[in-house]
Homo-oligomer: A and B are copies of this chain.
Amino acid sequence: MSYNQKSYALGSVRSIIRETFEYGKIRASQIGADKVFDFSLGNPSVKPPKEVRQSIIKMLETYDETALHGYTSAQGDVGVRQVIADDIKSRFGVDMDKDFIYMTCGAAASLSICLNAVLNQGEECIVFAPFFTEYRVFVENAGGKLIVSTPEDNTFQIDINNFESLITPNTKAIILNSPNNPSGVVYTEDKIKALCKILNDKQKEFGHPIYLISDEPYRELVYGNVFVPYLMNYYDNTLVCYSFSKSLSLPGERIGYIAVCPKMQDAKSVYLAVCGAGRALGYVCAPSLFQRVVADCIGAKTDIEAYKINRDLIYNSLSDLGYQCVEPNGAFYLFVKSLEDDANAFCKRARDYELLLVPCDGFGTKGYVRISYCVSKSTIENSIPAFKKLIESYK
């Protein structure tokens, strides 16, 4: 036997998002960056709030450097965890304690750790299409089996009947992502209530816990007065995976946390399983400077208004042109129906007009594309004539 073939396979297949992004860079060098309309990546286009920079400088000026850059405890600095627990308490009314907070190297780490903490070999984890492609990788690496629940037509809300039909005695976890990547949909409180009722009934029926993992890097990115339910208030066996990547525009700094619901059955033991999973995967402590910075900036907000302007502009423009778009209440993605059955073929034709879109087959939904509108406003404005030509080419 040679090296590990599963790892090789995961490393050698480039994601369609990355492939599109790399194509865009090459194309920009050929015809100029202003002529290419790259809507591929979910990389925040808005600067971090000014508090971040001020906080980094303050830390350098006030902290002893050895302590600032030194190890914190594996689960994170105790003062930082206290700030985060207090924040959850004051914002969502959950009786959170610092000893249920585990600081992580971002959302991917959080999910990977949670799944390794709760899943046993062969157990099932249900996700809702469309879903972030890496869920499959994390679930399978934790020894689990991914089960996909299909959404309601057009709205892309949870189809409660479909969800219920998928639960078996082997179901151990659910991953919920709202606001959703790639659809931009925020699941309604009614849907959340219905989902949690089923989970509570099924737990009782099967006599074992089913864990609800809430992946919420986009929590702060909602437009208008849309309400994003905090799942711990609806279901006790909830783990929240939070990341500051989007809320503070710090995706590269890899900083977030896992919060275990204090009302969870065996909450302390599950928290210890989180600690153990982090240890086994090689997560020792989250980056120490940015632990302090995010605690210091806990109330700071990124400029959501810029995203809202982009959202309105692209949603209205494409709808006016005749595209069928899902109403986006959150995140920075627009989910658009492909103009032909094969979304890959559609994205290929879009490239003829220098429009770089992501086909969503890999997200578990055929016939749709994702447009990341975390770009400059002028990119959107300048792309509209290209979108017009694209739809005309199908007439």
CB within 8 Å of B: which residues of A? 1-12, 41, 43-48, 52-53, 56-57, 60, 65-66, 68-72, 105-106, 108-113, 116-120, 123, 134, 137-138, 140-141, 172, 208-209, 211, 249-254, 266, 269-290
- Residues of B within 8 Å of A10, CB to CB, are 275-277, 279-280
- Residues of B within 8 Å of A68, CB to CB, are 252
Q: Are A277 and B4 touching (Cβ within 8 A)? A: yes
Q: Are B44 and A117 touching (Cβ within 8 A)? A: no
Q: Are B276 and A9 touching (Cβ within 8 A)? A: yes
Q: Are A286 and B254 touching (Cβ within 8 A)? A: yes
Q: Which of B53, B109, B117 contacts A60 (CB 8 A)?
A: B53
Chain B: minimal CB distance from A321 (Å)? 29
Most interface-central of A1, A4, A43 (chain B CB within 10 A)? A4
Q: Which of B1, B118, B120, B253 contacts A208 (CB 8 A)?
A: B1
Q: Are A48 and B65 touching (Cβ within 8 A)? A: yes
Q: Are B2 and A266 touching (Cβ within 8 A)? A: yes
Tell me the complex Cα distance, A66–B49, Å: 10
- Residues of B within 8 Å of A109, CB to CB, are 282-283
Q: Which of B11, B66, B270 contacts A273 (CB 8 A)?
A: B11
Contacts A43-B71, A69-B253; A116 near B283 (Cβ below 8 A) = no
Q: Are A276 and B44 touching (Cβ within 8 A)? A: no
Tell me the complex Cα distance, A205–B202, Å: 56
Tell me the complex Cα distance, A211–B11, Å: 19
- Residues of B within 8 Å of A6, CB to CB, are 276, 280
Q: Which of B120, B123, B208, B287 contacts A254 (CB 8 A)?
A: B287
Contacts A8-B269, A65-B47, A66-B44; A252 near B283 (Cβ below 8 A) = no
Closest to A110 in B: B282
Known: A5-B120, A7-B116. 15 other contacts (CB 8 A): A1-B208, A3-B273, A4-B117, A6-B276, A7-B274, A8-B276, A11-B273, A11-B277, A48-B66, A105-B105, A105-B282, A141-B281, A252-B288, A287-B290, A289-B289
Q: Are B274 and A11 touching (Cβ within 8 A)? A: yes
Q: Are B7 and A276 touching (Cβ within 8 A)? A: yes
Q: Are B1 and A120 touching (Cβ within 8 A)? A: yes
Most interface-central of A5, A41, A209, A282 (chain B CB within 10 A)? A282
Please, could you name 25 A-B residue pairs with CB atoms under 8 Å apart, sorted by A?
A: A2-B209, A3-B209, A4-B273, A5-B120, A10-B275, A10-B276, A11-B276, A12-B272, A43-B71, A47-B66, A48-B65, A48-B69, A53-B65, A56-B56, A57-B60, A69-B253, A105-B282, A109-B283, A110-B282, A141-B281, A252-B288, A253-B287, A254-B285, A254-B287, A281-B282
